[in-house]
Amino acid sequence: MQSVQSVRAVLIDIDGVLTVSWKPLPGAVEALRRIRAAGLGVALVTNTTSRTRASIAETLSGAGFDVRAEDVLTAPSVTAAHLAEHFPGARCALLNSGDIAEDLGDVTLIDCADGDPEVVVFGGAGPEFDYASLNRAFGFVKRGARLVAMHRNLYWRTDAGLQLDSGAFLVGLEQAARVEAEVTGKPSRAFFEAALARLGVDAGQALMVGDDVESDVLAAQRAGLTGVLVRTGKFQQETLEGASGTPDHVLDSFADLPALLELGQDSGS
């Protein structure tokens, strides 16, 4: 763990940290303002797969956050870069809830009726994750398609409570097809490295704030960042107690981060 005095940039999960169902959590808007006013770099790193970077930035800005599209790094945008590097020109079948085509750039997406894809891409869960779609994906993978997952989150929190996410289905597909997905979003090291590169800082100069102890916090710590777990969003005490490691810091909410970073109350003045 690095001293918070060495922190030059903050990586922040969105859902469950800044917002729940896109509504700001108490104190989050002001906390982000103070962090920016202190001159720290900011990257919003999210496994959200239902919206594009531009849509996310627009929604957060409308809620009062000082956020621009270039501040947002999504699992779909990192997945697009991964596919371009490792599977250039590949025919891809996307299983996802939400329109993210804008962030996928030049990825070649095909209709399943047009033949077998070379890559099956798992996004975020929703009504599209029905038996027929999952069974088609199973068939594609068994016939040789590679399996790429934007994340392996088991669930997330909405204003209606905890909801299943695609990781719950991904585990079953991996077991049935006897394969292991290539994961591009959190908790992959490449995701954190992409955010650090964008901010121009080393891992030892950055801090990651999240509500998922494994995918957000411990994964960031394994990549060399300081990890901060917040007790909001999907946080559950039993999950923390059964985690594979110990977070560097645990805060009640993102609103407490400026105090941890020892930012004065008047840092924005």
Tens digit of pLDDT for each residue in 235-268?
999 999 999 999 999 999 999 999 999 986 554 4
* Same structural domain, 146 and 197: no
User: Tokens for 84?
Assistant: 């371009």
Instruction: Judge whether 184 and 191 are in contact, CB under 8 Å.
Output: yes
**Is residue 137 assigned to a domain?**
yes
- Which pLDDT score is estimated for 28? 98
- Which pLDDT score is estimated for 120? 97
- Which pLDDT score is estimated for 229? 98
* Same structural domain, 231 and 214: yes
Domain boundary among 183, 217, 235: 183
* Same structural domain, 211 and 155: no
Q: Where is pLDDT greater, at 208 or 49?
A: 208
**Interval 161-205: pLDDT, tens:** 889 999 999 999 999 999 999 999 899 998 999 999 999 999 999
- Which pLDDT score is estimated for 6? 87
Identify the domain containing residue 115 by its residue range.
85-183
**Is residue 158 assigned to a domain?**
yes
Give residues with Cβ within 8 angstroms of 220, minimum separation 6: 11, 192, 208, 210, 226, 227
| Mean per-residue pLDDT, 145-158 | 90
**Is residue 129 assigned to a domain?**
yes
**Interval 203-225: pLDDT, tens:** 999 999 999 999 999 999 999 99
* Same structural domain, 140 and 195: no
Burial-class residue 219 by CB neighbours within 10 Å (0-12, 13-18, 19+): buried
**Is residue 40 assigned to a domain?**
yes
**Position 4 pLDDT exceeds 80:** no
- Which pLDDT score is estimated for 268? 42
- Which pLDDT score is estimated for 96? 92
Instruction: Judge whether 180 and 157 are in contact, CB under 8 Å.
Output: no
Give residues with Cβ within 8 angstroms of 76, minimum separation 6: 49, 52, 100, 103, 104, 123, 150
* Same structural domain, 191 and 107: no
Distance CA(248)–CA(106), nearest Å, equals: 39
What's the mean pLDDT when you consider all of the chain? 92
Domain count, the chain: 2
Domain boundary among 165, 183, 201: 183
Element (H, E) at 197: helix 189-199
Instruction: Judge whether 191 and 46 are in contact, CB under 8 Å.
Output: no
**Position 51 pLDDT exceeds 70:** yes
* Same structural domain, 152 and 192: no
* Same structural domain, 103 and 173: yes
* Same structural domain, 142 and 177: yes
Using a pLDDT cut of 90, give the percent of the chain over it: 78
**Is residue 32 assigned to a domain?**
yes
* Same structural domain, 97 and 126: yes
Domain boundary among 183, 207, 239: 183
**Interval 96-148: pLDDT, tens:** 988 888 888 889 999 877 789 999 999 989 999 999 999 999 999 999 999 99
**Is residue 79 assigned to a domain?**
no
**Is residue 104 assigned to a domain?**
yes
CATH assignment at residue 114: 3.40.50.1000
**Position 2 pLDDT exceeds 80:** no
* Same structural domain, 176 and 221: no
User: Tokens for 129?
Assistant: 């994750």
**Is residue 63 assigned to a domain?**
no
* Same structural domain, 204 and 217: yes
* Cut 0.95: pTM above it: no
- Which pLDDT score is estimated for 264? 62
* Same structural domain, 177 and 128: yes
